[in-house]
Structures are given as structure tokens and as C-alpha cells.
Amino acid sequence: MSQNTMNSTSAESIRALGKVAVLMGGASAEREVSLMSGSGVLKALQSQGVDAHAFDPAERDMGDLKREGFSCCFIALHGRFGEDGTVQGALELLGIPYTGSGVMASSISMDKVMTKRIWISEGIPTPKYLLLRRGAMDRHTVIEVPDTLGLPVIVKPAREGSSIGVTKVAGYSGMADAVALASQMDADILCEECIEGDEVTCPVLGSGDDARALPVIRIVAPEGNYDYQNKYFTDDTRYLVPCGLPEGEEQAIQALVLDAYRVLGCRGWGRVDVMIDAKTRKPTLLEINTSPGMTGHSLVPMSAKAAGISYEALCLQLLQDAALDGGVRP
């Protein structure tokens, strides 16, 4: 095939995508990050010749997507009302294909407790946990959490991302404040065993048997604190890819992450966060992100680059994989 034919075929496939909406912003606590992700994706798609436009569901009626002739959506939303199955459900009703996981997988993956329950039932390792419910617990219950999980303990909202509302509690006296902070974000508060060791993350591209794990990234944050600030707004956090793990560990983590991704029914893409116990070197899965960040500090583009996939090519590949649950238009 000649270069001219290849370029023509590529141009035809891009034209076939039609009018594309990049969903960004939204109403979640991660709105600021989503706007950064969406802006990057929009610029990348436009640079590839895609007829892409910004669309903020917090400021527009979703029905406008149908009325204005959008043929598919790149979801660059994070957190609630974007990553939790709600937007996915609206797009299913509108019959507009979208990037990433479908309604059920998105909803389950957004809920860290439900994710853990499924992983545990499938034999996939995840830290021990206790679930507290706002308004259904007393001070005594809160204080006793470290008796079960040990110290330090991680306290977080069950359905938020980007480390929003997360506290690493070093002593009993810190439990009440940590729970109070998390309960501002969610009625369900996840208290989790703290695994000390290497923090890594592993992206996945594709669906079902065709899904593949990208290179593992090892995260080295200041004082081990990979919080919201260190994720997005500083250059002090180091990201190591190649990850430099002992021989065989990276492959084992990739295989485990693929299992975790598939049992939740995820498709398109995702990223799984993992802790490696410093003593046993066993990987333990923390959570999965079904609409990962695409900012200048984000990890999926970083891992993809290490695998030879540019940011622009990644965005285009994800868009070309846009689909509806079951592939059926209403």
C-alpha cells in the first residue's frame, strides 16, 4: 500500500468519526482536573483532523448532543456524574457511542467498596477494609477502626477520585477528623489497611481478550504522599518508567491488573493502582479508574509513550474504540 493510499484511508476513517464531543468539566469535585484533561484531548483530536468540540455537561443539556448532530463522545470527565455510569447511561439512551467502560462497569468501578467485593470474590488481592456510613456510626466505632486494620490506616470517600478527601491516619486521635473530612464527600466512608511499599500504576487498553496492559509506572511522591497537590500541581513527584522493579514483578502485576479489569467488565481503557508490600513483594490492588486523567501529569499517556504510542495517537485510538453497551443503538 502506498503512502498516499495510507493517508487517504486514515483521512477517511477520521472523517467517518463525524462530529465528536469531548465531554469535560462536569459537576464533580474533579471538575478542574477534567477541564485540563479535556482541553488536552480536544487539542490532540483536532490536530489529527477530527471535527471535535468541547462539551461541558454541567453547562449544557445532554440532549444537545443529539440535536446538534454529534456522532460520538470522548469522555474526559472524572468522578461522579461522568465516571460513574450516569453519563454513560444518558449516552446509551441517546444512542451516541462513547469512550471507555459501559454503564455497569463504570458504576461498579467508581464505587471502591463494590470493586473490592467483586475482586475479593474473584480471589484478586486488595487491602482489608471496613465500611462506615455517615449518620450510622458513633465516635466509639470510629475510634476502634485501627483495632481491626492496624495503623496507619487510610480513610477515604467510597466514591471520589484524585485522592480527594483521603487521609493517612497515623494514630487513634486522627480518626475522627479523617472520617469527618471523607463524609463531606460521600455518605460511605472506606477505611482501608495501609500497605507500605512501592506504589505503582498500570494502564490497560482494549476490551475482553484483546485488552493489553501497558508498562507499569512506579510513583515516588514527596514523603510518600501522593495526594491531589502532588498528582496535578507540582513537579516534585517522580514517575519511573521503566519502573525498575525486580525481574518478573512487572509482568506479574500486568497479568493481575488485566484479570482485575476483565472481571469488572471494563472496556476501552482504564488504569489500576497497586501497592507492592515491602516485606512480601506481593501486589495488592487499591482501585481502578475507568476515565483516567489526560493532563500533563497524567499516567496513561506517560505509560503509552513508553510503549511507543504518542498522546495524539492514544486519543485517536480511544475515540475509534467508542461504543455502546452491546453495540446496539436504540
Catalytic residue among 293, 298, 303, 311: 293
Beta-bridge partner residues of 73? 21, 98
Residue 135 lies in a domain: yes
**Whether residue 268 sits in one domain with residue 171:** no
Q: What per-residue confidence (pLDDT) applies to 7?
A: 46
CB atoms under 10 Å from CB of 199, counted, come to 18
**Catalytic residue list contains 4:** no
Give per-residue burial for 255-277: e unless 16+ CB within 10 Å, then b: ebbbbbbbbbbbbbbbbbbbbbe
Catalytic residue among 287, 291, 298, 311: 287
Catalytic residue among 232, 261, 267, 303: 232
Residue 202 lies in a domain: yes
| Residue linked to cell 493532563 | 295
**Whether residue 149 sits in one domain with residue 40:** no
Catalytic residue among 102, 271, 298, 311: 271
* Contact (Cβ atoms closer than 8 angstroms) between residue 252 and residue 283: yes
User: What is the domain extent for residue 15?
Assistant: 3-99
| 41 contact partners, CB below 8 Å, separation of at least 6 | 22, 24, 74, 76, 294, 315
* Contact (Cβ atoms closer than 8 angstroms) between residue 302 and residue 240: no
Q: What per-residue confidence (pLDDT) applies to 5?
A: 36
pLDDT averages per 10-residue partition of the chain, 330 residues: 46 94 94 96 97 97 98 95 95 97 97 97 98 89 95 93 84 95 93 96 97 97 61 74 93 98 98 97 97 93 97 97 80
Distance separating alpha carbons of residues 315 and 322, to the nearest angstrom: 11
**Whether residue 181 sits in one domain with residue 207:** no
**Whether residue 301 sits in one domain with residue 220:** yes
Catalytic residue among 37, 106, 183, 289: 289
pLDDT tens-digit series, residues 40-88: 999 999 999 999 999 999 999 999 999 999 999 999 999 889 999 999 9
**Whether residue 170 sits in one domain with residue 297:** no
Residue 159, SS3? Answer: coil
Total domains present in the chain: 3
**Catalytic residue list contains 329:** no
Residue 328 lies in a domain: no
**Whether residue 26 sits in one domain with residue 91:** yes
Residue 231 lies in a domain: yes
**Whether residue 253 sits in one domain with residue 121:** yes
Catalytic residue among 32, 51, 259, 273: 273
Catalytic residue among 25, 26, 28, 30: 30
**Whether residue 62 sits in one domain with residue 20:** yes
CA angle, 159 then 235 then 249, to 5°: 65
Q: What per-residue confidence (pLDDT) applies to 55?
A: 98
Nearest to 309 by CA among 247, 250, 241: 241
Which own/partner pairs from 236-239 qualify as long-range (CB within 8 Å, at least 24 positions apart)?
A: 237/297, 239/299, 239/302
Q: What per-residue confidence (pLDDT) applies to 8?
A: 46
- The CATH number for 258's domain is 3.30.470.20
**Catalytic residue list contains 232:** yes
Residue 45 lies in a domain: yes
**Whether residue 164 sits in one domain with residue 205:** no
Q: What per-residue confidence (pLDDT) applies to 284?
A: 98
Q: What per-residue confidence (pLDDT) applies to 247?
A: 80
Catalytic residue among 34, 107, 109, 162: 162
**Catalytic residue list contains 271:** yes
Nearest to 24 by CA among 48, 4, 53, 66: 53
Q: pTM here?
A: 0.91
Residue 325 lies in a domain: no
By 3-state DSSP, what share of the chain in percent is helix, strand and coil, each rounded to 5? 40, 20, 40
